[in-house]
Amino acid sequence: MKQESIAGNLKKLAIFLALTAVILILMRYLFPEQSALSLEVMRDYSKEVALIFPPVLVLMGLADVWIPEDMVKQYLGKTSGWRGILLSLFLGTLPTGPLFIAFPIASEMLKKGARIANVVVFLGAWASLKMPQIGVEIQFLGLEFAFYRAGLTFIAVICIALITDKLLKRSEISWGKILKE
């Protein structure tokens, strides 16, 4: 059973890579100018994802076996209130990679019973309140701009999360489709 599903997933990946190769070759012939730039961007992103995604997966796997659902519910669940929001905010600001790496983590949080508001805060903080990113921002755009943007984004992230939480019920969310077995 397990073996089959590994083979199945590998097959999907192989098909996907073949398709990608076809697209890249087409790009090269149809848009030679754009092709060079896009390859460069893809190389940079691939490097980042290749370095960051495996350890994130391992940490997710470890979290899965070691962190009991009750604990997630207690710290990030429905009744976690402002402490849950602050904890999610803190988890999101830890330096890591691009936002799409955070989606699987967010999905796991939901699955284990985290509140929708907390998951959205986590994603918002991950996206735009990263500490190293703010450092570079100060360097290029000045302290004043970076300070206002981070402060306003902080408020906005919490507003977005609370509004989303109010609008949606956990029961009507269909999350984690590709991670379910």
CB of 88 to other proteins, least distance (A): 14
Say how many C-beta atoms besides its own lie within 10 A of residue 136's C-beta: 11
Q: Alpha-carbon distance 158 to 167, whole Å?
A: 14
Q: With contacts defined by CB under 8 A, name the span among 27-35, 71-79, 82-90 that binds other proteins.
A: 27-35
Q: Alpha-carbon distance 181 to 179, whole Å?
A: 6
Q: Does 119 help bind other proteins (rule: CB under 8 A)?
A: yes
Q: Does 103 help bind other proteins (rule: CB under 8 A)?
A: yes
Q: Does 143 help bind other proteins (rule: CB under 8 A)?
A: no
DSSP codes joined into one string, 66-134: HS-HHHHHHHHSTT-HHHHHHHHHHHHHSS---HHHHHHHHHHHHHTT--HHHHHHHHHHHHH--HHHH
Q: Which of 84, 107, 112, 114 contacts other proteins by CB under 8 A? A: 107
Question: Using alpha carbons only, what angle is made at residue 165 by residues 109 and 150, rounded to the nearest 5 degrees?
Answer: 80
Q: Does 49 help bind other proteins (rule: CB under 8 A)?
A: yes
CB of 75 to other proteins, least distance (A): 18
Q: Which of 28, 73, 104, 113 contacts other proteins by CB under 8 A? A: 104
Residues 59 to 88: which contact other proteins by CB under 8 A?
A: 59-62, 64-66
CB of 106 to other proteins, least distance (A): 6
Q: Does 173 help bind other proteins (rule: CB under 8 A)?
A: yes
Q: Which of 17, 25, 71, 143 contacts other proteins by CB under 8 A? A: 17
Say how many C-beta atoms besides its own lie within 10 A of residue 5's C-beta: 10
